C-alpha cells in the first residue's frame, strides 16, 4: 500500500464542480492499494498518517502529529500510485488492486483514522476528481507499507 501524504493549510476535492470533501490545516492522503495488500499494510499506513510528526511545535521543529494539533485529514483514492513506469512510456497498472478490494480498504482506512478522533473527509472512490491544495512547507512524504 502506498500513501502520498502532504501537510496542507487547506485541501478540497470536487466532482463535477461540487465540493465533496475539504479540510483546513491537516494532512492530505493520496492512498493507493496494491495487489496483495493486507490488514497489516492498512494498519501501518493509518498509524503513520495519524502519528507522523510533521507539524511544528513551539520551537518551530516538526515534532507534532496531526492528532495533537487539531488538524484534519482528507483521504483521496489514487490507484495511479501503484503504477509501474519502468518499462516503456505507458504506465502499467497491473499492480493495482481490484476496484472491489481497493474500495473496501480505502473505506476502512477512513474509518480507522476517524476512530482516532481525527476529523476526516474523503473523495469518492473511482470518481473523476479535482483536488486542490495548498501544501504547507512544502512537506510531502511517500509511505510504502512494503518498504
* Annotation says 6 is catalytic: no
Q: Which of 6, 30, 55, 79 is catalytic?
A: 79
* Annotation says 80 is catalytic: yes
* Annotation says 141 is catalytic: no
Please answer whether residues 123 and 53 qualify as being in contact, where contact means their C-beta atoms are separated by less than 8 angstroms.
Answer: no
Q: Which of 80, 98, 130, 140 is catalytic?
A: 80
Distance CA(130)–CA(16), nearest Å, equals: 8
Q: Which of 30, 55, 78, 125 is catalytic?
A: 78
Distance CA(70)–CA(40), nearest Å, equals: 26
- Dihedral in degrees, nearest 10, Cα atoms 109, 113, 116, 118: -170
Question: Known catalytic residues?
Answer: 78-80
Amino acid at each position: 500500500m502506498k500513501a502520498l501524504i502532504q501537510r496542507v493549510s487547506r485541501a478540497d476535492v470536487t466532482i463535477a464542480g461540487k465540493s465533496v470533501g475539504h479540510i483546513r490545516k491537516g494532512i492530505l492522503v493520496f492512498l493507493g492499494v496494491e495487489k496483495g495488500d493486507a490488514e497489516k499494510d492498512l494498519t501501518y499506513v493509518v498509524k503513520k498518517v495519524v502519528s507522523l510528526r510533521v507539524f511544528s511545535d513551539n520551537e518551530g521543529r516538526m515534532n507534532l502529529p496531526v492528532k495533537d494539533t487539531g488538524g484534519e485529514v482528507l483521504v483521496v483514492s489514487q490507484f495511479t500510485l501503484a503504477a509501474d513506469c519502468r518499462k516503456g512510456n505507458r504506465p502499467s497498472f497491473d499492480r493495482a488492486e481490484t476496484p472491489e478490494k481497493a474500495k473496501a480498504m480505502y473505506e476502512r482506512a477512513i474509518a480507522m483514522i476517524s476512530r482516532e478522533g481525527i476529523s476526516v473527509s474523503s473523495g469518492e472512490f473511482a470518481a473523476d476528481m479535482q483536488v486542490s491544495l495548498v501544501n504547507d512547507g512544502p512537506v510531502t512524504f511517500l509511505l510504502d507499507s512494503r518498504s
